[in-house]
Amino acid sequence: MSLLVTGTIGIDTVESPYGKADDVLGGSAAYFAFAASLLSPVRLVGVVGDDFPQAFLDLFEGRPIDTTGLEIRAGSKTFRWGGKYLDDINERETLFTDLNVISEAAPKIPEALRDSDYVFLANTHPAIQLEFIGQLSRSKLLVCDTMNLWIDTARDDLLKVLSAVHGVVLNDGEARMLTGENNLVTAGRAILKLGPRFAVIKKGEHGAMLVTPDDIFVLPAYPSENVKDPTGAGDSFAGGMMAYLAAIGRMDGAALKGAIARGTAVASITIEAFSLDSLAAADAQQVEARLGELKAMVAFD
């Protein structure tokens, strides 16, 4: 199945107790695409400014990432984000957010990509997610992410998105905020009442939970001792998850569980280096090896 992602492509500056990376490739769609490309071809839709370095464009070359949907907008500046991870690497401070081109008109999905089967709408204003949905002609699996800002300020639009998608991926705090339910299983079930057939609740270092109408699945994160930069973990998780579904062309409960495991494995690779460095150096075999370790780590008799 063809797979498409819409989201941000940006320039990040990241500090953690393990080092600093200045002006590196980042953004939700970049992490998603690199992660997904380990398991499936992926089409990237986003917009950058004409200051976007050629060296970053070159990073997409040689991978099964279709960048025909990456608009380079003349006269605009690329999205920039800076963050600092604390001694407890699960906590971070945002140092700056320069929306730049992200605050202008959204990119369009090129005609040739509108037939995409599986689509992931990474976090952005839900009104823009609705625009993207309107441009798609035959999506079989539509999954969105969101964030607390939109739950708070654009709830009506977000509810329209949720009624239109098949699945949602969001973090535990967002699930609680969206539904007013503290218990995550109850929150997951409440999300299903808003439209999606499944909800994937990310719990950061604690893993992820899948809630469907008739099933609950829980998986811990891979317990890495070598976390250097958690940026993009959630987007890499979504990329690994969606790419596995696209690769096998299924979206049933068993497929979703396998997909969450692949997403967990890929995310664990992402966070072991700054920016996209470890993802860029990874291959399908490394994902498979990490998956095997993960399976062994939760096995008991």
Residues within the interface to a copy of itself (CB under 8 A): 87-89, 182-186, 189, 203, 206-207, 209, 216-220, 223-225, 227, 254, 257-258, 260-261, 295, 297-301
Residue type for position 198: F
Return contacts of 64-68, CB within 8 angstroms, 24+ apart. Answer: 64/37, 64/40, 65/33, 65/34, 65/37, 65/41, 66/41, 66/42, 66/113, 68/43, 68/110, 68/112, 68/113
Characterize the bridge pairing of strands 141-145 and 42-49: unpaired
For a copy of itself, the closer CB: 289 or 298: 298
For a copy of itself, the closer CB: 13 or 224: 224
Nearest approach, Cβ of 300 to a copy of itself (angstroms)?
Answer: 4
Nearest approach, Cβ of 223 to a copy of itself (angstroms)?
Answer: 5
For a copy of itself, the closer CB: 44 or 211: 211
Nearest approach, Cβ of 242 to a copy of itself (angstroms)?
Answer: 16
Nearest approach, Cβ of 87 to a copy of itself (angstroms)?
Answer: 6
Rounded Cα distance, 49 and 102, in Å: 9
What element of type H or E holds 163?
helix 155-164
For a copy of itself, the closer CB: 30 or 267: 267
Nearest approach, Cβ of 261 to a copy of itself (angstroms)?
Answer: 4
For a copy of itself, the closer CB: 4 or 260: 260
Rounded Cα distance, 47 and 76, in Å: 10
SS3 292: helix
